Amino acid sequence: MDTTISYAVPANALRVYRGFQNQTLTPDQYRATLGQTFMPGTPYMLAPLGLAAYLPGVIVGEPNPNVPNEFAIIAYTSQDAWQHIMNSTLRGRVYNATHGGVYDLSRSGASFPVAFQHLPALATDPFYLFDGSTDWQTGVTQVYVGAPADASVTAADFRLAIRTAMGAQSAQLKSLGADQCVVMPGDGYVVIWTHLAAPGAATPVDWKSLGPKVRTVANMQAQRIPCHGEPPTVTLTQSTALNFIFLRNPEMFLF
C-alpha cells in the first residue's frame, strides 16, 4: 500500500550547535576545512542514517570572541534516533570523532532545545517557541545572530532581554507565517532560527524587539545548497547561513 512519508521532525529532536574555532588553525584554515570537508561531510555521512536536515552557518569578522564562529541545526527524527546514530553506528562514531580537529571542544557543544513555556526562570538551555513538527528543508529559514550591545551589559541582563523579547514576539512571528523559532542564548551571544513555511517569505524578521541591550551581528536567510549526489563544497568568506538540501532516507521516517 502507498504510504505518505513526512520529513517533519519535532523541535526537541534538533541538535543546536555552537562551534568555536580550534586555535591550532588559522581562521582561513578553519573555514576552508568547514566548507570543503566538515559541512558537506555532515549530510554525506549522516543522511543514510536518518538525518532530517542540516542548517549550518558561520560568522566572519566579528571581534567579540564570545560569539561562536559557527552555528548549526542538525535535525533528527527523535532524540533516541540521535543516540543510536552517534553511539551505535560506525558512520556516527567516525563523524563524532572528527570534531576535535576543527573545534575548540572546551567551548563548543550541542544540546536539544526545550519548550519555552516549560523553561525554568534561570535556565540557560536553548528553547523553541511553538509545538508541532517542521520540515526544515522546505520553506524559508531566517537566522539572526546577536551579541551584548556593549561591555556594560551583564550576561544575566543579556539573557533576560532575549527571553523577555522572545516571549513577547511569538504572536508577531505567527502572523508572519512562522511555524517554528529556535533560540540558542549564551552569555555573550544569541542565535535565532525562524522557519517560515511560505516559500516567498524572504523579508527578514525585524528583531528590534530584542531591545537596546542586544547588538545585531548578522541577520540572514539560509541559502539552499542542493546536493545532487555527493554534497558540494562551499566557500565561506563572509557571514553566511546555509541549508543543505539532500535526499532523506525514507526507511528512517516510517515510524
Q: Is residue 52 part of a domain?
A: yes
pLDDT single digits (tens) 84-125? 999 999 999 999 898 988 999 999 999 999 999 888 877 788
In a domain, 139, yes or no: yes
Residue 112, C-beta contacts closer than 8 angstroms, at least 6 positions apart: 12, 13, 14, 15, 16, 79, 126
Exposed (0-12), middle (13-18) or buried (19+): which is 122, by Cβ within 10 Å?
A: exposed
Strands of 14-134 (E only): list them. 14-19, 53-58, 70-75, 109-111, 114-115, 127-128, 133-134
Is residue 249, in this structure, part of any structural domain at all?
Answer: yes
More confident residue, 203 or 67: 67
204 pLDDT above the threshold of 80: no
CB 128 within 8 A of CB 12: yes
Query: Does 211 fall in a domain?
Result: yes
Q: What is the DSSP letter of 137?
A: T
Report the Cα 230 to chain-centroid distance in Å.
Answer: 22
Contact by Cβ (8 Å): 227, 120: no
| pLDDT for the residue 119 | 85
In sequence order, the 6+-apart residues with CB closer than 8 A to the CB of 10 are: 78, 132, 133
Report the pLDDT value the prediction gives residue 123, as an integer from 0 to 100.
78
Mean pLDDT of 214-226: 96
Find the mean pLDDT for residues 11-20.
97
What phi and psi values does residue 218 have, to the nearest 5 degrees?
-160, 150
- When divided into structural domains, the chain yields a total of 1
Rounded CA separation 141/192 (Å): 10
Pull the grid cell for residue 94: 567516525
Joined together, the cell numbers standing for residue 125 give: 538551555
Q: What does the pLDDT read at residue 200?
A: 57
- 2 pLDDT more than 60: no
Between 176 and 12, whose confidence is greater?
A: 12
Confidence of residue 1 (pLDDT cuts 50, 70, 90): very low
User: Is the pLDDT assigned to residue 171 strictly greater than 50?
Assistant: yes
Q: Which residue has the higher pLDDT, 1 or 55?
A: 55
| Type of residue at 31 | R
Rounded Cα–Cα distance for residues 173 and 175 (Å): 5
* pLDDT > 70 in the chain, percent: 96
DSSP 38: I
Which pLDDT does position 72 carry in this prediction?
Answer: 98
pLDDT in tens, 122-158: 778 899 999 999 999 999 999 999 999 999 999 999 9
Over range 59-73, report the average pLDDT.
Answer: 97
Query: Which CATH number goes with the domain that contains 154?
Result: 3.30.70
244 and 54 Cβ atoms separated by less than 8 Å: yes
Report if residue 4 sits inside a domain: no
Q: What is the pLDDT of residue 100?
A: 86
Beta-bridged to residue 241, according to DSSP, are: 57
With a pLDDT cut of 90, the percent of the chain lying above it is 82
In angstroms, rounded to a whole number, what is the distance separating the alpha carbons of residues 147 and 190? 6
Mean pLDDT of the chain: 93
Question: Within a domain: residue 3?
Answer: no
H/E element, 193: strand 190-196
Please give the residue range of the domain that contains residue 22.
9-253
Q: Model-level pTM?
A: 0.95
